[in-house]
Chain A
């Protein structure tokens, strides 16, 4: 199976069935198929063929989903870049994966001119194109590259996680078996399309001929509007980071309204979900609640379905046991397999483990997640923490070194250390900066500087200009001390 056959099949059988909606438009399977077909034809004319990469840089919309399908039909791979990413970073991704074409929108495309060669192929993904003379549907091998998701890299260069059709489908197939969706289901898509949570929303919906309802980036954390969206779009399967649900409960009045009768599953992943919030959610809805776990490199490899017994616990939910056919074990620091009650780094082997990082050779053997877990009975796991400086901000993974490298490139900065203050919904990146050069860097000036280099979710919120950085006894920067300082509120925080 591959990621584009379903849309072709449903378009043939039931073209008038709803496939995807955005704030401005809704596409049936028939129209989605037609748009994908026409754009595939144009891309072929531009020279895109099997094994090529196409970067799609845009705000999410039904047209973007059609563009993803178009690329796949050529046997090529799509590389999504969020519409809010700066042009310089997108150009870096284009070069890194040696993309053949960039698909984008009329407002964004001109911004690339300063960053890419003059003759680079750019295509407006919403252009009104003539019909395709015939359908394009290249055969793809299960191990063919389907998409590359770029994530933060520790040295300041993003890493491209290469996912094959087999990798993605193993996850989608698992999700379909667990959720048993029907064509009547309505999936919400909360996550950006650059984030692997979106893979479930789109492809589990398409696998059964259901519909997916896109939430634009600007609405993703607008509490009352999200609650309205849940009701008005009659969502039956919701999947997001816990932060979004917490926000809807805290500021959006989610629990004050009766749970939507069609809501039958609420899935969350990307960060721990505070147990009291899970409890409130469980009191409110009879929908199934599922905690999903997995880094981009393995997609979802474990899950835990909330049961009544969980609600009396005082620790976060377990990340649970195997999903998507994965084999999971924890490795102790001495290299031995950790037993029940012991801690170790979680290792993953199985059909969802990525092909590799783009340009760095094929990945072989189990994937070491960098996540420290505690082993529970029946080969289930509980998340404990990280073994490196990678942090999560509302589910987005951020390598602190990536942000520090960008800050240090500012002429008025000689050294920078970034820490996370707060957890869950209130997590914020805070920078400690040693001034260099002639001037004291201004807060807005630093924000502007970062915004040209990093995606939005990696921009720091607070900056402390300091004259020295605290050190541990062996001379390393004392990150724990800085994190404690960062937790002291700079200004009063809202309730």
Chain B
């Protein structure tokens, strides 16, 4: 999955679930999600489940920090990075 697709799926989920569809189209890649309370303690748990179930990426506890969840951009970067590591592990395992 490319960065753009991942970013769009994460944005789409946040718009639908946490922003009532974002009717005014306010969400941007750099909107500070934690700071503005779009992601709160409960929402973050839901987003983690979405990323696990729909994007197939499990985020380890050490990655769950304010820096990695501050906006769509940083979440996307973390998810693509973890997905890449997973693939590398699988590839190494099949050799």
Contacts and interface: CB of A to CB of B under 8 A. Distances in A.
Interface of A: 23, 59, 84, 216-223, 225, 228-229, 247, 251, 394, 425-426, 442-445, 447-448, 450-451, 456-457, 459-463, 490-491, 494
A456 B45 CA distance: 16
Nearest to A221: B41
B78 interface: no
B40 A251 contact: no
A222 B46 CA distance: 9
A247 B37 contact: no
A451 B37 contact: yes
Interface string B32-46: 001111101110111
B22 to A, nearest CB: 7
Contacts of B41: 217, 220-221, 394
Given A442-B24, A459-B37, A460-B37, 14 more contacts: A84-B66, A222-B45, A229-B61, A425-B42, A443-B19, A444-B19, A444-B26, A451-B35, A456-B34, A461-B37, A461-B40, A463-B20, A491-B17, A491-B21
Q: What is the interface of chain A mostly: helix, strand, loop, or mixed?
A: helix
Contacts of B82: none
A61 B19 CA distance: 32
B37 A456 contact: yes
A442 B28 CA distance: 14
A443 B26 contact: yes
A394 B42 CA distance: 10
Nearest to A217: B41
Nearest to A450: B37
Given A442-B26, A444-B27, A218 B37 contact: no
A416 to B, nearest CB: 16
Contacts of B45: 221-223, 247, 251
Given A219-B64, A451-B36, A444 B20 contact: no
A84 B26 CA distance: 23
A462 B20 contact: yes
Nearest to B19: A443
B86 interface: no
Contact of A23 (B18, B35, B42, B62): B62
B55 interface: no
B38 A444 contact: yes
Contacts, number: 85
Contact of A445 (B26, B42, B61): B26
B77 interface: no
A147 B61 CA distance: 32
Contacts of B24: 442-444
Contacts of B34: 84, 456
A459 B36 contact: yes
Contacts of B22: 443-444
Given A23-B62, A221-B45, A494-B46, A447 B36 contact: yes
A218 B31 contact: no
A216 B61 CA distance: 10
A61 to B, nearest CB: 12
Contacts of B65: 216, 218
B40 to A, nearest CB: 6
B20 A459 contact: no
B42 A221 contact: yes
A444 B17 contact: no
Contacts of B27: 444
A425 B45 CA distance: 12
Contacts of A217: 41, 66
A456 B62 contact: no
B20 to A, nearest CB: 5
Nearest to B28: A444
Contacts of B40: 456-457, 459, 461
B83 interface: no
B12 to A, nearest CB: 12
- Most chain-B CB neighbours within 10 Å: which of A443, A445, A456, A460? A443
Contacts of B19: 443-444
A234 to B, nearest CB: 16
